[in-house]
């Protein structure tokens, strides 16, 4: 063996040792202690800060049942988590309480991995203080749950991993929590969340859908009947009145026909939302049939919506917005009109469904494209017109929509001032900072931005504070109330005064009488929109305009 061969062996051995040391370092950067359990869940090996957590040396713990270290009330959660890890390969996070040898109790978070080595073993990582008893372990929100559930559906249908989604209605839970002291209520909710989370596939696919409604995606072998009983017993024991709750559960096989392949999680999220909204009328015991029916209806509505948008099967109508001081037409608002005329064809229902189902961005882009093409045709006729298009708050939080809108606008040749945008508040904007930056980019291009239906939602003033806009459109409900109540008048004056101080123009909606128009002028509202000035019409060129003054309506 020559010198180079010896050097290679030394180097290789050194690399192996260094890799081992790196893995150990990485492990301890993620957890405080590690425990290996045998097939009987007795401690085979313990290291890290295990002495600080338990008061006992790792060698002393070998051979003892790990369950004995956990408070009795939390042992069912541990048992369920270990069972899930053995079946699925992983479990956690499990939020448990561990008792120190000296009697002190620590809150810990446990994650587990099962490996078929040394006859099979569970490898647990322990983190102290990851959650406290007043910090309830958070389940997913509905949107993230729907996305993960959709991934589970895809996996289940390809045969990679069977899965079941169970909806749990803990009827009476909110009432029980209200009867309890805050700390005790937090502890109860902590345990319930932990019970459900322990059965979740990969420890993550569990959600609190509504106050008393929960959902979890889990292995088909998970004992949901036991989960129902554990939650029911714990709630009854904790309830000061001893009434407890009624626990109902119903499950859907994610690989079954009722969850047939679909393009994304939007139908699932929409159906979960609607199911939770109507749970008072529609009991969870009806889930197997009711959920399938609702999901089928949702699929049909989404496909119908997408078809309507893709085929352009909608009309754009235009309603004038006038300067109240002289009745000159300032610009028009573009409004959608659908064919059919039934309840499902109302513009409000059409838009609201699209927002709730998370598909409004498709329509907003289609509407922008339609209006932009119309304005291009106006330019070719050497005429001038300005139109406002509505953008949903949901669309503004969709990155691909923002990209496509900017790309679409890059081909717009008329003056930018011809195309304005109204931001609707019917869908809550969560990332106001990012939305504000995008709206500012539109304004820098020369497009005016208006907050629509101001006052109708709980976030109106928050939006006004966070977003730079050119105009505020005051919800028509307040315009009409100002004609009948002193409170309505005061509210309108306050909004108009605030906007004036901020240098923002205002538009009053639903102006139907001269008295209403005069009142708006009196309080400083500059623009008006409503039947007093004209109903929405399709042929906007049918308006006879002289020097931008509205003289009559055709149609």
Q: How many CB atoms lie within 10 A of CB 399?
A: 10
472 and 542 in a single domain? The answer is yes
CB 437 within 8 A of CB 400: no
Considering the domain boundaries, does residue 297 fall inside one? Answer: yes
Considering the domain boundaries, does residue 408 fall inside one? Answer: yes
Q: CA 518 to CA 511: how far, in whole Å?
A: 10
160 and 84 in a single domain? The answer is no
Say what the pLDDT of residue 256 is: 54
Considering the domain boundaries, does residue 374 fall inside one? Answer: yes
462 and 393 in a single domain? The answer is yes
Q: How many angstroms from the chain centroid is the CA of residue 9? A: 55
CB 239 within 8 A of CB 223: no
CB 392 within 8 A of CB 361: yes
Write out the H or E segment, with its range, that includes residue 400: helix 399-409
**Domain holding 80: CATH number?**
3.30.450.20
**Domain holding 298: CATH number?**
3.30.70.270
Describe the strand order of the beta sheet including 206-208 as a list of residue ranges.
206-208, 213-218, 164-171, 246-253
Say what the pLDDT of residue 26 is: 43
Say what the pLDDT of residue 192 is: 85
Q: CA 259 to CA 326: how far, in whole Å?
A: 59
Instruction: Return the closest-CA partner of residue 284 out of 311, 246, 312, 320.
Output: 246
Considering the domain boundaries, does residue 443 fall inside one? Answer: yes
Considering the domain boundaries, does residue 11 fall inside one? Answer: no
CB 177 within 8 A of CB 188: yes
Say what the pLDDT of residue 350 is: 84
Q: Which of 272, 303, 334 is the last residue of a domain?
A: 303
62 and 149 in a single domain? The answer is no
Say what the pLDDT of residue 130 is: 47
Q: CA 476 to CA 512: how far, in whole Å?
A: 10
466 and 535 in a single domain? The answer is yes
204 and 286 in a single domain? The answer is yes
Considering the domain boundaries, does residue 321 fall inside one? Answer: yes
Considering the domain boundaries, does residue 2 fall inside one? Answer: no
Q: How many angstroms from the chain centroid is the CA of residue 487? A: 35
CB 259 within 8 A of CB 155: no
269 and 411 in a single domain? The answer is no
pLDDT digits (tens, 9 = 90+) for 403-440: 999 999 999 999 999 999 999 866 678 788 899 999 99
Q: CA 199 to CA 213: how far, in whole Å?
A: 16
Unique residue bearing structure tokens 């389940």: 139
Q: CA 68 to CA 61: how far, in whole Å?
A: 11
Six token digits for residue 477: 């409900």
194 and 224 in a single domain? The answer is yes
Say what the pLDDT of residue 274 is: 65
The tens-digit pLDDT sequence of the chain (555 residues) is 443 444 343 444 455 445 444 444 444 445 788 888 888 888 888 888 888 888 888 888 898 988 888 888 788 778 877 877 777 677 767 778 888 888 888 888 888 888 776 677 788 888 886 444 433 445 656 566 666 666 666 665 555 667 777 888 888 999 999 999 988 888 788 778 878 877 777 656 777 877 788 888 887 877 888 888 888 988 998 899 989 898 888 777 766 544 444 444 566 666 666 666 655 444 444 545 555 666 667 777 888 888 888 888 899 999 999 999 999 999 999 999 886 554 456 788 888 888 877 788 899 999 999 999 999 999 998 888 999 999 998 899 888 999 999 999 999 999 999 999 999 866 678 788 899 999 999 999 999 999 998 876 657 788 888 899 999 999 888 898 888 888 888 988 999 999 999 999 999 999 999 999 999 999 999 999 999 999 898 888 766 443 344 433 333
287 and 385 in a single domain? The answer is no
**Domain holding 431: CATH number?**
3.20.20.450
- List the beta strands (DSSP E) in 343-438: 387-392, 419-424
Six token digits for residue 554: 């055709």
Task: Count H helices and E strands in the chain, helices first.
Answer: 19, 19
388 and 532 in a single domain? The answer is yes
User: What is each CA distance from 470 to 271, 327, 444, 451, in whole angstroms?
Assistant: 37, 20, 12, 8
Q: Give the helix ranges, DSSP H, for 73-205.
A: 75-88, 142-157, 173-179, 182-198
Whether cis (ω within 30° of 0) applies to the bond prior to 93 is: yes
**Domain tally, the chain:** 3
Q: Which of 128, 154, 184 is the last residue of a domain?
A: 128
Q: CA 368 to CA 388: how far, in whole Å?
A: 9
Q: CA 326 to CA 517: how far, in whole Å?
A: 11
273 and 173 in a single domain? The answer is yes
Unique residue bearing structure tokens 């927002």: 355
358 and 298 in a single domain? The answer is no
Q: Give the helix ranges, DSSP H, for 108-157.
A: 142-157
Write out the H or E segment, with its range, that includes residue 377: helix 360-380
Q: How many CB atoms lie within 10 A of CB 27?
A: 14
CB 548 within 8 A of CB 352: no
Q: Is 96 exposed, middle or buried (0-12, 13-18, 19+ CB in 10 A)?
A: buried
Q: Which of 283, 303, 323 is the last residue of a domain?
A: 303
Say what the pLDDT of residue 555 is: 32
Q: CA 457 to CA 477: how far, in whole Å?
A: 12
Q: Report the SS3 class of residue 358.
A: coil
Considering the domain boundaries, does residue 133 fall inside one? Answer: no
Q: How many CB atoms lie within 10 A of CB 274?
A: 18
The range of the structural domain enclosing residue 48 comes to 31-128
């Amino acid at each position: 063996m020559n010198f180079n061969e010896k050097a290679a062996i030394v180097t290789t051995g050194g690399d192996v040792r260094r890799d081992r040391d790196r893995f150990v370092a990485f492990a301890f950067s993620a957890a405080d202690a590690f425990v290996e359990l045998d097939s009987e869940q007795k401690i085979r090996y313990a290291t890290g800060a295990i002495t600080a957590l338990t008061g006992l040396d790792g060698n002393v713990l070998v051979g003892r049942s790990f369950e004995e270290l956990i408070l009795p009330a939390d042992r069912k959660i541990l048992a369920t988590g270990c069972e899930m890890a053995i079946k699925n390969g992983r479990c956690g996070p499990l939020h448990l309480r561990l008792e120190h040898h000296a009697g002190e109790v620590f809150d810990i978070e446990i994650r587990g991995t099962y490996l078929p080595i040394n006859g099979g073993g569970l490898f647990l990582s322990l983190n102290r203080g990851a959650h406290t008893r007043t910090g309830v372990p958070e389940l997913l929100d509905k949107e993230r749950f729907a996305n993960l559930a959709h991934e589970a559906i895809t996996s289940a249908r390809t045969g990679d991993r069977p899965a079941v989604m169970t909806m749990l209605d803990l009827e009476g839970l909110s009432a029980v929590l209200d009867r309890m002291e805050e700390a005790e209520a937090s502890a109860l909710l902590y345990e319930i969340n932990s019970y459900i989370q322990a059965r979740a596939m990969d420890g993550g696919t569990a959600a609190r859908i509504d106050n008393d409604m929960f959902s979890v995606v889990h292995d088909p072998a998970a004992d949901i009947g036991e989960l129902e009983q554990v939650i029911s017993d714990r709630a009854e024991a904790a309830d000061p009145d001893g009434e407890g709750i009624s626990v109902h559960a119903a499950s859907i096989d994610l690989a079954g026909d009722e969850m047939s392949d679909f393009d994304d999680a939007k139908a699932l999220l929409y159906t979960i939302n609607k199911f939770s909204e109507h749970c008072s009328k529609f009991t969870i015991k009806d889930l197997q049939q009711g959920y399938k029916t609702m999901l089928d209806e949702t699929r049909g509505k989404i496909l119908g919506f997408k078809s309507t948008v893709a085929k352009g099967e909608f009309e754009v109508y235009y309603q004038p917005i006038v300067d109240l001081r002289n009745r000159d037409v300032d610009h028009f608002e573009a409004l959608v009109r659908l064919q059919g005329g039934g309840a499902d064809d109302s513009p409000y229902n059409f838009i609201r469904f699209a927002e709730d189902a998370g598909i409004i961005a498709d329509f907003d882009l289609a509407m922008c494209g339609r209006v932009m093409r119309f304005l291009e045709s106006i330019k070719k006729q050497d005429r001038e017109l300005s139109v406002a298009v509505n953008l949903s708050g949901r669309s503004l939080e969709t990155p691909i929509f923002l990209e496509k809108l900017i790309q679409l606008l890059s081909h717009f040749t008329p003056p930018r001032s011809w195309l304005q945008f109204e931001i609707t508040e019917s869908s809550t904007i969560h990332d106001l900072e990012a939305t504000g930056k995008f709206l500012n980019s539109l304004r820098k291009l020369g497009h005016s931005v208006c907050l629509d239906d101001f006052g109708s939602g709980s976030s109106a003033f928050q939006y006004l504070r966070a977003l730079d806009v050119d105009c505020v459109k005051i919800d028509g409900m307040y315009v009409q109330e100002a004609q009948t109540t002193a409170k309505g008048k005061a509210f309108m004056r306050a909004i108009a005064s605030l906007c004036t101080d901020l240098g923002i123009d205002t538009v009053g909606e639903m102006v139907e009488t001269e008295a209403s128009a005069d009142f708006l002028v009196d309080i400083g509202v500059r623009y008006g929109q409503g039947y007093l000035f004209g109903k929405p019409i399709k042929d906007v060129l049918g308006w006879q305009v002289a020097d931008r003054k509205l003289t009559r309506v055709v149609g």
